[in-house]
Structure 1
Amino acid sequence: MNDRLIFLYGLIFIAALLLVETVLRILMRRLSSRKEVANRLEAVKQRVDGPDAFQELLKRRGLGEGTDLSSFSAIHRKFIGQTGLEISNVRQISYLILFALFGLFASGLFLGLSGIPQVIFSLVFAVALGVLILWVKRASRIRLFTRQLPEAIDVIVRSLNAGHPLNAAIALVSREMPDPIGSEFGILHDQMTYGADLELGMMALYDRVGAPEIQLLTVTVSVQRGTGGNLSEILENLSSMIRARLMIKRKILAISAEGRITAWIMLGFPFGLYYMIRALVPEYFDPVWESGYGTLVVTGCLIMIFFGMIIIRRLVNFDF
């Protein structure tokens, strides 16, 4: 009996040791991957010299051909570029096909669709889900960039007070700060190094990121270059103003938290109620489906839920 207990304890110890090792491997792999992309531009510069470094980084994000908004493809490239993702056209098509297959399966299983309506629903579902994922990723990147921007401006201010030119201060930000602001300011520095104007570089930076605070920085630098003044003091005031905006935004999010959680509860409640009744009384909704109007009823309910979420979102989302 004691031998069996010792053997069992030995197996438990080995299993725990393997589990800890696996967790540590996963954590170390994630840390190493984060370190590799801490500044993507610097990683590209280790393999590519000169102005081709930031051009390659832009091409990876689909921005190498410019961001002229004269066509749908240019708008699509700009939107993908603002997410910071490096997705090729082949991968985008593969993801859309995967989402469409999932929508095809879900519409047949949950909505009872078939034929042409099922195909149309799967295509709309694939496009909507792809746009939603990219929108969330873009918004997350813009929020991260906005949180990093005051610190980056402080680095520029300290560099200017130490007697460095503005180009060197921007280069310091690109070297010392992680992505996304490190690589973006690195691209701005390289563009200025190889002949681009600062204002045009700032406008291109806004096109690549999409954060409205960059427009404030662009206007600040443009006005200072046109009228003169202490640039470091102006940038220091701008940094304080951006921090105040972020603080006000966090307060607004805290005040509107109840409304936002109510919106999510109202969104999930109909689905939870449906599956709860379905589990308790499986034949409860059979008359609805047998009447032939079940698909129209479900579609109408989903549309009303969607517009209700939009209305609640507008009520709790404040612009300032």
Structure 2
Amino acid sequence: MIPALMLFTFSFLMFAFSLTLVYRALTDPTTSRVLGRLGEGQPQLSTKLQGVVWLDRAFLQAGLGRPSERLGLWLALWAVVIVLAGLLGGWVFLLALVVLPPVLLKLFVSWRYHRRVRRMVEQLPVLLDHCVRSLKSGRTLADAVLTAIEASSDPLKSSISRVSRNVQLGVSLPEAVSDFAELYERDEFRMFALGLKVNHRYGGNASELLENLIVLIRERDQGARKLKAMTGETRMTALVLGLLPVFVVGFFMVTNPDYMLKMWQDGSGQRMLLTALTMQIVGSVALWRMVRSV
């Protein structure tokens, strides 16, 4: 058992080291220039972000910084913990530490992203209202948007400040807002970017456009709140169904811990518990997806 764990640890560390080398090669300026020359004239296909770039994007959306700067260190620590768990607790703990940390990290980043973006959408009408007042006082659209960004509050200010940085670097305001909208993937931000593009290309009354956008965003928010209130019973039922098995196991552990321990020490009982755990995870994910769809 121990030689196999040592071999697994060594291979895992080599894999992490190879990922670090690939990331450094892809981010090297010389490599980027060579890849750019090789890609000239080739059709540009829209591919999904993968690997370290996807991880950086997910953490940036959640406001957690860039994990790729210390990715090798975190992978090495994770491998050491996995080996210690396998040596001290057996294959069950080893499997748990291989599967649970990525799943829990994904859930935390997703929860942090959705909470942050929801707060940003709630702050967006205030920013647009500030833009409208600035436009009516005689400012240009670009000045009004940049001034509203400076006057906004976190988390919207820290996120949309990338628009100000891109404009200072020479990017047009509609393109900078489009980049921000594509990063956070929300329809409200995309509508804001589309309105700026239309006004930049065809002209028109910018203050009236932003006022209509404020009304649209608030109506969407009101509709979402009504839907959430109408589906409250369904979501509560799913929550009870998901937590009931956990409460039952906790009740047995408190009132009669020997029952669960003896079941775990038996081979068939251990398989039953692992099967129940797998079914609980699959059922919780299914209930979560069903609740997200309503």
Residue in 2 that maps onto 1:114: 90
**Matched residues in 2 for 1:197 and 1:159: separation?**
19
Task: Give 1:279 shift.
Answer: 3.1
Q: Distance in 1 between matches of 2:83 and 2:278?
A: 17
TM superposition shift of 1:180: 2.2
- Measured at CA, do residues 99 and 294 of structure 1 come closer, stay the same or move farther in structure 2, by a change above 3 Å? farther
Equivalent pairs counted in the alignment come to 249
Given candidates 269, 289, 294, the residue that maps to 2:244 is: 269
Structural RMSD (CA) = 3.2
Gapped runs of 5+ residues in structure 1?
1-64
- Of residues 34, 40, 63, the one that matches 1:84 is 63
> Secondary structure of the equivalent of 2:267?
coil
1:75 aligned residue: 54
- CA positional deviation for 1:231: 1.6
The answer for the alignment partner of 2:124 in structure 1 is 149
Residue 26 of structure 2: aligned partner? none
- Structure with greater helix percent: 2
Cα separation, 2, equivalents of 1:293 and 1:135: 36
What are the superposed Cα offsets for residues 175-216 of structure 1, whole Å, 9 maximum, x if unpaired?
A: 211122223333312322331022321222124433331111
Deviation, 1:241, is 0.6
Gaps of 5+ in 2: 1-28, 30-46
Aligned partners of 1:286 and 1:222: how far apart in 2? Answer: 64
Alpha-carbon distance in structure 1 between the residues aligned to 2:72 and 2:225: 34
**Range moving further from structure 2, 78-87 or 151-160:** 78-87
Once the 2 structures are TM-superposed, how far is the Cα of residue 275 of structure 1 from its aligned partner?
2.6
Give CA-to-partner distance per residue, 1:263-309, whole Å, 9 cap, x none: 22222221221232233334434663354123332232222222322
Q: Which residue of 1 aligns with 2:23?
A: none
C-alpha separation in 2, matches of 1:248 and 1:108: 54
Higher relative contact order (CA 8 A, sep 6+): 1
Which amino acid letter does the alignment assign opposite residue 202 of structure 1? V
Q: TM-score, normalised by structure 2?
A: 0.72
The amino acid of 2:270's aligned partner reads T
Deviation at 1:92, TM superposition (A): 8.9
Deviation at 1:69, TM superposition (A): 5.3
Structure-2 separation of matches of 1:97 and 1:191: 37
Please report the TM-score for the alignment, with normalisation by the length of structure 1: 0.67
Quick one: structure 1 residues 204 and 78, their matched pair in 2 at CA, closer, same or farther if it must change by over 3 Å?
same
Shift of 1:137: 1.0
> Equivalent pairs: percent with the same residue?
23
